Structure 1
């Protein structure tokens, strides 16, 4: 088969979740000797993180905006290539497509009620675009892929998708996430003075629960003898200040480090250096950072709702993410019980072995083959 895969954003320097899912899946497909030809449609960018090979070609498509790129330039490129199908990897797709369409719909958070508007204009515009496009393209998709059984069932019921048209394919994690024999302190000190800190990977999306994490941290500081600092990735100081004022906890700011965006290449070192990884989101369709931290042998505290229990497994430390006191309690339990801490390290290492990008690619191939003309 000749298969086109939309991966519009993978060449941008500051990649996020869906970008890595697309990139890692494509890399695994590229390794397989399956007789398929892959055409990866991307926007120009600085990070040339994927190379061409005998079975994979990179097709750069230029357009001034994402909606125009997806709705006009992408289907025209697909028609020109003469492929057998198009796989769109990031929730949306062209309203008109000249070939059978496969869509990865990571979640339907943007179709659910919101607590408040997104603080970022880019996120707000994306929210409206997805609400406009997704319901209209689902009827045209030959197959819909999502990333957990939780999300699969939620999408199926909310949008009345026939069971045979939607399937769950788990994400994996990059193998550079593993326990390190020695932590590179030069990398650690780019972000925080010393190791053994608490680590929170958030952004301005309300579902990441940053305000309650900060509130939980303030409760932790009141009761902890160690008073470990908190490293916060992907949040700017102005936004953190706003949350601290909102929660009336500005006094904890000296205990925080907030370097902004952290490149994926440094995350493995930081997971290894961290005492614990905090991921008590309000809503996740999967949660790749859970696996990354577990694969590094770092204990995780995560939410007990949406897909997080499915990914983290029955042995993980889960909390009600709406209750900061529960998050603080679990932090203190890990700090005060070396046996519990060691058990969580060992559990996470074993749990992470259940997931891989190779398995993701294997399942993707089954989907492609199921709609072969």
Structure 2
């Protein structure tokens, strides 16, 4: 097959779930598949590792992205007689012209399920374009069984047209030596106490305020702080104001943006990783934490139980009392915490980008061969 992939998210959305997904999937696909030819629509730099015997980099301009999307891509797809065109960023920008068949990755349908948590501009674009994206696609990839159910709930799609290809964590996420972690966090952030960790952004659907409330009320035997890495803006600023209003600013640390190595350090040293989200298409931070051997406590809703499996404990994120009870049970009992750490590492071994790429390649072959 000749497969064209919109690889622009690798640089456009670097550090986000879609950027991470696109980069790691393409790297693995190019490594495991020597039969097919890949044409990668690229923007900006950092493409050397993607230049392989089975790939061709097609440079585009971000400034003139509409020209490339609406004119250049369709003409190039026709000229090269492309069999499959894959769009990994929820299908946004898919025009349905030029290639023989079209594949999109729909990560979640949050604009449909929780529209109040999505920015107005993106919400309008998503709601407007998604019906035609679904209709034009010959195959749909998604990252969890729950996301597949959401797609079937909102759109009249043959379920055999949807393929579940779970995500994986980057290779940086592995247990780091604890002494080195302690030194780094003390020198960099002044963290010298045991801490509870949350990673995943500050949208209201993430329920970080619920975690802060539970942490404030929990009766813990030792002195803990709550650590919240991530860029603080909009909802994050509101959370900072809330923390001050309840006199918890000495106990809750907002670290700002953290690179992967710093996140892996935090995961490796935390006493407990908590993920209280109301809704996830996958929940990648849960898997990252497990790869680093963190004890994990997370929401029992949407796709998150698929990720955690038997690798940690879950709770109803709408119940503050239940969250408090489990925080106390885990943090006041070292045996429970140590067991959860072992379970995390065991569960994380079920996921890898090579597995994701193999499932994706199987899906692409099936879509190409279908009527």
Hey, what's the Cα distance between the residues in 2 that align with 1:259 and 1:322?
26
Hey, what's the Cα distance between the residues in 1 that align with 2:366 and 2:305?
30
State whether structure 2 residue 355 is matched by structure 1 residue 359. Answer: yes
Hey, what's the Cα distance between the residues in 2 that align with 1:77 and 1:187?
49
For structure 1, the residue ranges without an aligned partner over 5 or more in a row are: none
Residue 211 of structure 2 aligns with which residue? 213
Deviation at 1:235, TM superposition (A): 4.0
- Cα pair 1:244 1:250 within 8 Å, conserved: no
Q: Which moved more, 1:14-23 or 1:320-329?
A: 320-329
Distance change >3 Å, CA 67–CA 308, structure 1 → 2 = farther
Q: Which moved more, 1:134-143 or 1:306-315?
A: 306-315
Deviation digits for residues 112-138 of structure 1, max 9, x if unmatched?
243x354xxxx4322221111111111
Deviation digits for residues 288-329 of structure 1, max 9, x if unmatched?
111111111101111111011111114521111122332232
Residue 153 of structure 1 aligns with which residue? 149
Q: Which moved more, 1:349-358 or 1:239-248?
A: 239-248
Hey, what's the Cα distance between the residues in 1 that align with 2:224 and 2:65?
42
State whether structure 2 residue 198 is matched by structure 1 residue 200. Answer: yes
Deviation at 1:193, TM superposition (A): 2.0
Deviation digits for residues 196-240 of structure 1, max 9, x if unmatched?
3211113232221222122222223xx223231111121427744
Instruction: Map residues 99-114 of structure 1 onto 2, 5 A cutoff.
Output: 99=99, 100-114=101-115
Normalised by the length of structure 2, the TM-score is: 0.89
Deviation at 1:2, TM superposition (A): 1.6
Instruction: Map residues 1-373 of structure 1 onto 2, 5 A cutoff.
Output: 1-12=1-12, 14-44=14-44, 50-64=49-63, 70-72=69-71, 74-92=73-91, 93-99=93-99, 100-114=101-115, 116=116, 118=118, 123-182=119-178, 183-185=180-182, 187-188=184-185, 189-194=187-192, 196-220=194-218, 223-236=219-232, 239-243=235-239, 245=241, 249-314=245-310, 316-372=312-368
Deviation at 1:192, TM superposition (A): 4.7
Distance change >3 Å, CA 283–CA 237, structure 1 → 2 = closer
Aligned residues: 365
Distance change >3 Å, CA 70–CA 288, structure 1 → 2 = farther
Note the aligned Cα RMSD (angstroms). 2.5
Normalised by the length of structure 1, the TM-score is: 0.89
